[in-house]
């Protein structure tokens, strides 16, 4: 099979397109499918960008604007008490760019990476694009929907290069404890591979905090970006923190595949790191929505087996309501105007009996969504 034929569409996009069609016909749709913050980018970032527009926008070095690399190194020290040399922080066009770059470096044809199923769908395709094979490992409530050391030992193959954690998880919102990250990292080292930690939802945690993999393993590869915590999806700035030996090969790939992340966005992003108060306002608004959904959803028959403490997602078991979450989501959209993502977007393991709610939507709309779902179920 040709590589491109192995690339699956991002299925929720079909649902989103239908939702847009219904909206164009004047129907109000409640969006609980999208994983994009509904908040404005912090004002200080937008103001900085306006000023920066007067400057030339030439390429920065491929590995990123040195000022942003330094600002991030300082931020890691404050936030996680880890010392990272700025040159290990590679600035990329979103975390998506970081993953593409990384897999181009790490994977050769036929090599594999261990991923959690359910997990962020694009991961599988990034790996396939690099000629590799995603090994999707079923994970459930017993491991808080994350890989653990036992699963790594069980599924690691001779050709496996790395294992991925998404912490907090998309789609489950579950947070991995520091000790579990340390155990995972140790298991990856035993097999001479890397632990890759996708930390894009860091900072969006409720009643807990997520540890950075670099706190427990200096050789972990950390991927993060400004899209979620800082509400900067379209600015396209992310980063990868890599061990010394990967800097040079990563630089070569970056020079070739994207030359550099957008200059304007990189410099504006330096302001984001200072916008602590604005970020806290967003975080507490997400938490209010999360608590509302956690109290309402179970009453309607959605089982939330492990309490999500991060990101802006709730992963629910719908086996009391349907054995086919995909048709359930489509009927809900057509009949009640509520959009939710079916489990199939995140993998195959028990996907028919699960779905994901996103609460990156105003609380008033979420309340209306719950009322509409209740009416839909009572029909
Ligand atoms: N990683 C996870 C777990 C995500 O949920 C997303 C986006 O939804 C991304 C990475 C990609 O984000 P971006 O490329 O905007 O940084």
Q: List, for residues 344-378, the tens digit of each pLDDT value.
A: 999 999 999 999 999 999 999 999 999 999 999 99
Q: Where in the chain is the domain with CATH 3.90.1150.10?
A: 3-41+277-377
**Mutate which of 119, 200, 311 for ligand 1 pocket (most atoms within 8 A of beta carbon):** 200
Given the CA of residue 93, which atom of ligand 1 is nearest to it?
A: 14
Q: According to the model, what pLDDT value does residue 88 have?
A: 98
The pLDDT-based confidence of 324 (bands split at 50, 70, 90) is very high
Going by C-alpha positions, the residue among 202, 238, 199, 195 that lies closest to residue 218 is 195
Convert the pLDDT of each residue in 9-58 to its tens digit: 888 888 999 999 999 999 999 999 989 999 999 999 999 999 999 999 99
For residues 331, 38, 198, 174, the Cα torsion angle rounded to the nearest 10 degrees is -60
CB count, 10 Å around CB of 284?
10
Q: According to the model, what pLDDT value does residue 186 have?
A: 97
- Between CA 190 and CA 182 the distance in angstroms is 12
Beta bridge partners of 165: 197
Q: Does residue 94 have its Cβ closer than 6 Å to ligand 1? A: yes
CA angle, 371 then 339 then 348, to 5°: 120
Convert the pLDDT of each residue in 233-292 to its tens digit: 999 999 999 999 999 999 999 999 999 999 999 999 999 999 999 999 999 999 999 999
Across the range 170-199, mean pLDDT stands at 97
Across the range 297-309, mean pLDDT stands at 96
Given the CA of residue 97, which atom of ligand 1 is nearest to it?
A: 14
Q: According to the model, what pLDDT value does residue 11 have?
A: 80
Q: How far is CA 191 from CA 40, 110, 120, 135, 278, in A?
A: 43, 17, 24, 15, 42
Ligand 1 geometric centre to CA of 95 (Å): 6
SS3 116: strand
Q: Does residue 310 have its Cβ closer than 6 Å to ligand 1? A: no
Given the CA of residue 95, which atom of ligand 1 is nearest to it?
A: 16
Q: According to the model, what pLDDT value does residue 349 have?
A: 96
Going by C-alpha positions, the residue among 170, 144, 176, 210 that lies closest to residue 357 is 170
The pLDDT-based confidence of 90 (bands split at 50, 70, 90) is very high
* Residue 1 confidence (pLDDT) above 90: no
Q: How far is CA 125 from CA 83, 119, 128, 348, in A?
A: 32, 12, 5, 15
Across the range 180-196, mean pLDDT stands at 97
Ligand 1 geometric centre to CA of 125 (Å): 13
43-274 belongs to CATH 3.40.640.10: yes
Ligand 1 geometric centre to CA of 238 (Å): 9
Going by C-alpha positions, the residue among 100, 122, 95, 125 that lies closest to residue 236 is 95
Across the range 151-160, mean pLDDT stands at 97
Given the CA of residue 169, which atom of ligand 1 is nearest to it?
A: 3
SS3 345: helix
Q: Does residue 171 have its Cβ closer than 6 Å to ligand 1? A: no
The pLDDT-based confidence of 310 (bands split at 50, 70, 90) is very high
The pLDDT-based confidence of 302 (bands split at 50, 70, 90) is very high
* Residue 232 confidence (pLDDT) above 90: yes
Phi and psi at 94, nearest 5°, equal 70, 170
- Between CA 225 and CA 178 the distance in angstroms is 21
Number of C-alpha atoms within 13 angstroms, CB side, residue 82?
22
Ligand 1 geometric centre to CA of 378 (Å): 36
Going by C-alpha positions, the residue among 134, 133, 151 that lies closest to residue 142 is 151
Work out the percent of the chain whose per-residue pLDDT is above 90: 96
Q: According to the model, what pLDDT value does residue 20 have?
A: 94
Work out the percent of the chain whose per-residue pLDDT is above 70: 100
Q: Where in the chain is the domain with CATH 3.40.640.10?
A: 43-274
Number of C-alpha atoms within 13 angstroms, CB side, residue 127?
22
- Between CA 147 and CA 164 the distance in angstroms is 8
* Residue 379 confidence (pLDDT) above 80: no
- Between CA 253 and CA 265 the distance in angstroms is 21
Q: Does residue 64 have its Cβ closer than 6 Å to ligand 1? A: no
If one looks up domain 3-41+277-377 in CATH, what number appears? 3.90.1150.10
Q: According to the model, what pLDDT value does residue 12 have?
A: 84
Q: What's the mean pLDDT when you consider all of the chain?
A: 96
């Amino acid at each position: 099979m040709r590589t491109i034929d192995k690339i699956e569409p991002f299925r929720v996009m079909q649902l989103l397109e239908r939702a847009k069609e219904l909206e164009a016909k004047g129907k109000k749709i409640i969006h609980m499918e999208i994983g994009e913050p509904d908040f404005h980018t912090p004002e200080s970032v937008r103001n900085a960008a306006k000023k920066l527009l007067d400057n030339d926008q030439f390429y920065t070095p491929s590995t990123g604007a040195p000022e942003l690399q330094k600002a991030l190194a300082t931020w890691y020290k404050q936030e996680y008490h880890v010392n990272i040399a700025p040159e290990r922080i590679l600035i990329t066009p979103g975390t998506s760019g970081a993953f593409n770059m990384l897999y181009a470096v790490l994977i050769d044809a036929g090599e594999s990476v261990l991923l959690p199923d359910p997990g962020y769908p694009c991961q599988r395709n990034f790996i396939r694009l690099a000629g590799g094979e995603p090994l999707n490992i079923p994970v459930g409530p017993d491991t808080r929907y994350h890989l653990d050391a036992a699963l790594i030992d069980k599924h690691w193959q001779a050709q496996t290069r790395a294992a991925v954690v998404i912490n907090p998880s998309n789609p489950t919102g579950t947070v991995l404890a520091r000790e579990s990250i340390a155990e995972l990292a140790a298991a990856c080292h035993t097999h001479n591979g890397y632990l890759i930690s996708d930390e894009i939802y860091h900072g969006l945690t409720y009643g807990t905090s997520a540890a950075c993999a670099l706190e427990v393993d200096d050789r972990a590869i950390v991927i993060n970006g400004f899209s979620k915590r800082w509400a900067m999806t379209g600015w396209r700035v992310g980063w990868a923190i890599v061990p010394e030996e990967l800097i040079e090969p990563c630089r070569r790939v970056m020079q070739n595949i994207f030359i550099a992340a957008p200059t304007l966005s990189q410099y504006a992003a330096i302001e984001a790191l200072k916008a602590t108060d604005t970020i806290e306002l967003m975080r507490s608004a997400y938490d209010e929505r999360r608590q509302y959904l956690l109290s309402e959803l179970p009453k309607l028959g959605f089982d939330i087996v492990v309490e999500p403490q991060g990101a802006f997602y709730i992963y629910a078991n719908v086996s009391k309501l349907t054995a086919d979450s995909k048709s359930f989501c489509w009927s809900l959209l057509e009949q009640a105007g509520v959009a939710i993502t079916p489990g199939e977007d995140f993998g195959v393991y028990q996907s028919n009996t699960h779905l994901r709610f996103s609460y990156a939507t105003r609380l008033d709309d979420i309340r209306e969504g719950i009322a509409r779902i209740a009416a839909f179920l009572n029909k």
